[in-house]
Structure 1
Amino acid sequence: MTAVGEVLPPQDVPLTRTMIVATAIASRDYQDVHHDPDLAAARGSRDIFMNILTSNALAERYVRDWAGPAARVRRIRIRLGVPNHPGDTMTLTGEVASVDGPQVEVAVRGENSLGTHLSGSVTVEVPEEQA
């Protein structure tokens, strides 16, 4: 039985250069700041950085992995903060914020060495026997 306040186990996500570039390309985000270190630096960044689509996907996967294979994602609301650069690690954490029948809202955070990369919530629908 899922209850408000239940804490999800933390998950570390190593931020490799390959991951950042590959996920940007996979999501058809060809902005130079996601794959070209020199152009990213020319635009004021210390290095390339992860795109928002990847951040959303990581938050979704984190909650879905916890909720189980029968869970269906209903809503993702994410705010971005500091960038995810290669060579760092983002630690995802979560806590059940509300339960309304099969609807479970999980507050999520992603922290790296610079601070909060993402914060927000992921709402999933879980089978009644699991809720």
Structure 2
Amino acid sequence: MRPGERLPPLEIPVTRTLIVAGAIASRDFQDVHHDPELARQKGASDVFMNILTTNGLVGRYVTDHFGPTAVLRKVAIRLGAPNHPGDTMVLTGTVEEVDGDTAVVRVVGANRLGRHVTGTVTVTVPEGTR
């Protein structure tokens, strides 16, 4: 881990199943995450991914890169453009800071509409396991 290190991009196909399953798994039963007609009535073009699913995908992206011993200490994200069925979200990351076995990684997830998610993840990777 070193400042400036870039994580390889991860492409995530955004399917209707991923959106609905993520909402159900996180107990988010808001209609905009599973009912296309009600989502349109509320101004969206279709159902869209909830923040908890995005949060989980960001965490997965970082731990997949740093390995099974990586421990997420903090995930701070902000949503932008929605993820709709048929989109592909591409996650990218850059290590911003390193202090011993802990790093802060800037993460961006973009789709055809723009940036879906931006934020930072603080991760600890025990010495000898990197």
* Alignment TM class, shorter chain as reference: over 0.9
Shift of 1:128: 1.8
Shift of residue 129, structure 1, vs aligned partner: 2.8
Match of 1:22 in 2: 21
Structure 1 ranges of 4+ moved more than 3 A: none
CA distance in 2, matches of 1:16, 1:120: 23
Amino acid at match of 1:116: R
Report the equivalent of 1:3: 2
Q: Which residue of 2 aligns with 1:38?
A: 37
Residue aligned with 2:44, SS: coil
Whichever residue aligns with residue 124 of structure 2, its letter is: E
Residues 87-102 of structure 1 correspond to what in structure 2 (within 5 A)? Answer: 87-102=86-101
1:60 corresponds in structure 2 to 59
**Aligned-pair distance for 1:130?**
4.7
Q: Is the 8 A contact 2:91 2:107 kept in 1?
A: yes
How far has the Cα of 1:100 moved from its partner? Answer: 0.3
- Displacement of 1:64 in angstroms is 0.5
Name the CA distance, whole Å, in 1 between partners of 2:47 and 2:77. 21
Q: Name 2:128's counterpart in structure 1.
A: 129
Letter in 2 for 1:65: D
Question: Aligned residue for 1:83?
Answer: 82
> How many Å separate the matches in 1 of 2:97 and 2:56?
21
User: Which ranges of structure 2 fall in alignment gaps of 5 or more residues?
Assistant: none
Q: Aligned-pair RMSD on alpha carbons?
A: 0.8
Q: What SS is found at the alignment partner of 1:111? A: strand
Q: Could you report, residue by residue, the CA deviation over 1:4-33 in whole angstroms, capped at 9, with x for unpaired residues?
A: 000000000000001100110011000000
Please report the TM-score for the alignment, with normalisation by the length of structure 2: 0.98
Cα deviation, 1:61-88, whole Å, max 9, x if unaligned, reads 0000001100111000000001000001
Q: Quote the sequence identity (%).
A: 60
Where 1:60 maps in the other structure, the secondary structure is: helix
Residue identity matched to 2:58: A
